[in-house]
A and B are shown apart, each in its own frame.
Chain A
Amino acid sequence: RKEVEQDPGPFNVPEGATVAFNCTYSNSASQSFFWYRQDCRKEPKLLMSVYSSGNEDGRFTAQLNRASQYISLLIRDSKLSDSATYLCVVNWGGTYKYIFGTGTRLKVLA
């Protein structure tokens, strides 16, 4: 099993749609989780941390399911500007190492 897995997509959705991505991780000792956004040929930018209780930032909601070892990202009311690659990041439990998924491509269509 891969350390961190994401569906590469692409997810093509119309403007205004709700879209959700999942990311599974294999190390049950992992403690820190994040979602990053990466635009083409740019550096990753922090979107949000993922807390055990779940967290919301405007149209974005992140959740953690420790029992099933996955994190999720929900985007409501998609905008054209949300088109990007979304990367999940997991701390490799017991180390200082962070593992990125390969990313999920999202394209929001007008």
Chain B
Amino acid sequence: DTGVSQNPRHKITKRGQNVTFRCDPISEHNRLYWYRQTLGQGPEFLTYFQNEAQLEKSRLLSDRFSAERPKGSFSTLEIQRTEQGDSAMYLCASSASAGGDEQYFGPGTRLTVT
């Protein structure tokens, strides 16, 4: 399967713990996006990477959130000191800079903070 993959698919954690999610984009895609989606809402932009450079970050993203894409391939999203309000689906998408920037999404990681 050459689509976007995300791991883990589900994560249950206790409030205050740190969690890390991984995204593997489509191999030839140099652009990578992270979004968060809660029930009844559209995906909310979190951050954007072009290759290994983080070029855009939502003002809504608190300093408990950090993302990396060290070699311009896979990316990780870490949430420190999780809160119940962090419970959501975390979606990763990738696109190619050549073309119209159509984004292809992974299946997401569903986070539940208890």
Contacts and interface: CB of A to CB of B under 8 A. Distances in A.
A binds B: yes
Interface residues of A, number: 22
A96 B103 contact: no
B56 A100 contact: no
Interface of B: 33, 35, 40-45, 48, 50, 55-56, 58, 91, 100-108
Contacts of A45: 105
Interface of A: 4, 8, 32, 34, 42-46, 49, 87, 89, 91, 95-103
Contact of A97 (B56, B102, B103, B105): B56
Given A34-B102, A96-B50, A98-B103, A44 B55 contact: no
29 contacts: A4-B42, A32-B100, A42-B107, A43-B105, A44-B43, A45-B105, A46-B102, A46-B103, A46-B104, A49-B100, A87-B43, A89-B103, A95-B56, A96-B48, A96-B55, A97-B48, A98-B33, A98-B45, A98-B103, A99-B45, A100-B35, A100-B42, A100-B43, A100-B44, A100-B45, A101-B42, A102-B41, A102-B42, A103-B42
| Interface hub of B35, B43, B48, B103 (most chain A Cβ within 10 A) | B43
Contacts of B58: 97
B103 A87 contact: no
Given A32-B100, A32-B101, A97 B42 contact: no
